[in-house]
Chain A
Amino acid sequence: MKWLLKLFDAMRPMFDEKKGVFRLFTPIFETAENIFFYPADRTKAFPHVRDPLDLKRYMGTVIVAMFPCVAAAVYYFGPRVLAMILMSYVVGGIVEVSFAIIRKGEIHEGFFVTGMIFPLVLPPSTPLWVVGVGIFFGTFFGKEVFGGTGRNIFNPALVGRIFVTIAFPTIMTSGWDAPGAWRGVADAVATATPMALFKTQHVLTPWFDLLIGNTAGSIGETFHLGIILGGIYLIYAKVCDWRIPAFYLGSVVLFSALGSSVPALEAKVAPPLFQLLGGGLLFGAMFMATDPVTSPSTKVGKWLFGVFCGLLTVLIRSFSGYVEGVMFSIVIMNAFAPLIDHVVLAVKYKEARTG
C-alpha cells in the first residue's frame, strides 16, 4: 500500500483547500483518501457513538446489516433492483457532492445509508426517474438544507418516500410485482401487498410466506427473516439501541391486540402477528426508527418514541386512507423527537433539583 500512500501524498498539494489547483474538488479527494486510509481525525459531527466506532464503520455496519434484504430483493424482484440502487446513489451522490463543494466541507458517509434505504422502501416497479426525484427531494430538503449528515431532523429516505407517495399516487400504488415474476415463476405478474389484501378483502397472508418474503411489497421490506437477522446484528454491534425497536414492536403488538379484540374494530385492525410480519414495520423499526440522529437521545425518550411510533402505525394502518403507516408514523415522531428529549430532560433536572 506504500505506493498508494505516496500517490495521495503527492496529490495532496493539488487539492489543498486554499492554494491547490483543484481546490474545488477537495471533498472528493478527501473521501477517496479516506476509503483507503483510516482518517487521522475524529468525527466532527453527529452521530457520536460511545464505542471505538467512527462514522464510517457505523454506516458500514448498517450497510452490512441490510445485505440480506438486498440479496433477497434481487432474488425476488430481479436485477432491476440494482439499477434502482445505482440510480439512488448517483442522484443522491450528486446532491451530496455539490453541497460539499459549495460548503467546502467533507462528504459524509451517512449518504451511503440513505442512498441504500431509499430504493429498498419503494415498490419494485417504480420507474427509475421517480427513484431519482425521490432521493433528490429527500437528500436536498430532508438533509442538506439542515446542514448535512448529523444535522437532519427527519429521516431523509422517508422524506423522499412520502414525497413520491403523495406526488405520484398512481405510480406508487399500482403494479406491485409478484415475487419471482421477473423469472416467470409466479402465477401472476402483479398482485396486491399483504397489507392491501387485508384492508380491502380481509385476507390474512400465511405467516410463513411473510417471514421468507414470498409476497408483494416494497423491495427491501418483504424478506422479514433477513431483516430480523440484520436488526439483531445492528443491536449486537451496538450501532442501534435495542429500546426503539423493542418498544416500537411491543406497542404495535399491544395496540393491535387491543384493537382486534374489540368486536366493532375487528374488521379494521389486523391481529398482532400479521401486523409484525406484514408490510414495512420490521424494516422501519430496525433500520429507520433507530437512526440515532432523528430519534431521541435520552433512554426514556427512546422508549416513548417507540411506543408512540407503534400507536401511530396501528392507527394509520387501520383507519386511514393509506395501507401502510410505518413511514408516516416514523416521520411524525421524528418531528417530536427533540420535544420528547426536551421534556424528559426537564423532568429529570426538576427531580434532581428538588430531590
Chain B
Amino acid sequence: MNVSGELTQALVVAFSAAFTGNILLTKFLGMCPFLSVSRQVKTATGLGWAVIFVLTGTCMLNWAVYRYILVPLNLEFLRFILFIVMIAAFVQFVEMVLERYSPVLYQNLGIFLPLITVNCAILGASLFMVIRDYSFINAVSFGLGSGFGWMLAILAMAGIREKLKPERIPKGLRGPGITLIIVGLMALAFIGFTGVLSGG
C-alpha cells in the first residue's frame, strides 16, 4: 500500500476509535476513573491527557512486544499477563522520568498516572489492537483515537456534572447514580455514529 493510502487508513482508524467505537461510550471500558474523576473539568482534563499519553505509549509498546516476542515464540496466550505487566512498567517508568525531568508536568499528571495503570481501557485498547491485527501506524492512531475519545467523553461528563444542581435530583440517584444515567444517555446518542468510517 502506498503512503497516502496508509495515512488515510490511519485517520479512519483514529476517527472510528474516537467516535464510532468510542472506548467508553460503546465498549464501556475505563468506567471507574470516569465515574470518580469527572466532578471538575480541570481534573478531568489532567486525567484525559494522561490517558491519551499512556494509551498511545502502551499500544506502541505492546504492539512491538506481541509482534517480536510473543508471536515468534508461539506464546500468544501470555498476552493478558504480559500486557498488564508492560502497562504497569510503562506507567512507573514515565512517572519516574517525569518526576526527575519535568516536575510541573508531574505535579499535574502525577496523581492520575498510577490511577490509570488499572484502567481497563488501557488493557482493552492493547487487546483490540491485537484482535484487529493492526499495523504499527494503525496501532498508534488507534491508541491516539481511543484516548482522545475517552478524554472527550470525560470532559463532557465533567462539564455536565459542574452544571448539575444536585438538590433537586432524587436522593438515591445523587453521585454515581445520576452519572451512570448520563453516560447511558450519552451512549444512546453515540449509537448515531454506527457505521461511520468503521472500516479499517
Question: Contacts A145-B170, A335-B156, A335-B189; is A342 near B195 (CB within 8 Å)?
Answer: no
Within 8 A of A (CB), among B156-184: 156, 158-160, 162-165, 167-170, 173, 178, 181-182, 184
A339, B159: Cβ atoms under 8 Å? yes
Contact with A along B178-194 (1 / 0, CB 8 A): 10011011101111111
Q: Report which of A148, A312, A316, A335 forms a contact with B186, defined as CB distance below 8 A.
A: A335
The answer to the question of B84 belonging to the interface, with a C-beta cut-off of 8 Å to chain A, is: no
The answer to the question of A151 belonging to the interface, with a C-beta cut-off of 8 Å to chain B, is: yes
The answer to the question of B155 belonging to the interface, with a C-beta cut-off of 8 Å to chain A, is: yes
Contact with A along B139-157 (1 / 0, CB 8 A): 0000000000000000110
The answer to the question of A154 belonging to the interface, with a C-beta cut-off of 8 Å to chain B, is: yes
* CA–CA, A315 and B192, complex, Å: 10
Nearest Cβ distance between residue A314 and chain B, in whole angstroms?
11
The answer to the question of A319 belonging to the interface, with a C-beta cut-off of 8 Å to chain B, is: yes
* CA–CA, A187 and B198, complex, Å: 39
* Closest residue on chain B to residue A146 by CB atoms: B169
Q: Report which of B160, B181, B182, B192 forms a contact with A320, defined as CB distance below 8 A.
A: B192
- Specify the main secondary structure of chain A where it touches its partner: helix
* CA–CA, A145 and B178, complex, Å: 8
The answer to the question of B64 belonging to the interface, with a C-beta cut-off of 8 Å to chain A, is: no
Chain B residues, Cβ within 8 Å of A328: 189, 191-193
Contact with B along A228-248 (1 / 0, CB 8 A): 000000000000000000000
Question: Contacts A147-B165, A147-B169; is A153 near B160 (CB within 8 Å)?
Answer: yes
Chain B residues, Cβ within 8 Å of A329: 192
Nearest Cβ distance between residue B140 and chain A, in whole angstroms?
24
The answer to the question of B41 belonging to the interface, with a C-beta cut-off of 8 Å to chain A, is: yes
A166, B178: Cβ atoms under 8 Å? no
Chain B residues, Cβ within 8 Å of A334: 189
Nearest Cβ distance between residue A148 and chain B, in whole angstroms?
7
* CA–CA, A319 and B198, complex, Å: 10
The answer to the question of B197 belonging to the interface, with a C-beta cut-off of 8 Å to chain A, is: yes
A332, B190: Cβ atoms under 8 Å? yes
Nearest Cβ distance between residue A264 and chain B, in whole angstroms?
11
Contact with B along A322-343 (1 / 0, CB 8 A): 1001011101101111111110
B189, A320: Cβ atoms under 8 Å? no
A339, B155: Cβ atoms under 8 Å? yes
* Closest residue on chain B to residue A321 by CB atoms: B195
Spell out B's residues near A (CB within 8 Å): 41, 155-156, 158-160, 162-165, 167-170, 173, 178, 181-182, 184-186, 188-197
A-B contact pairs, 17 of them (CB 8 A): A103-B168, A147-B169, A151-B164, A154-B185, A162-B188, A162-B191, A163-B188, A316-B196, A319-B195, A320-B193, A320-B194, A332-B189, A332-B192, A338-B159, A339-B158, A342-B41, A342-B162
Spell out A's residues near B (CB within 8 Å): 103, 141-142, 145-148, 151, 153-154, 159, 162-163, 166, 312, 315-316, 319-322, 325, 327-329, 331-332, 334-342
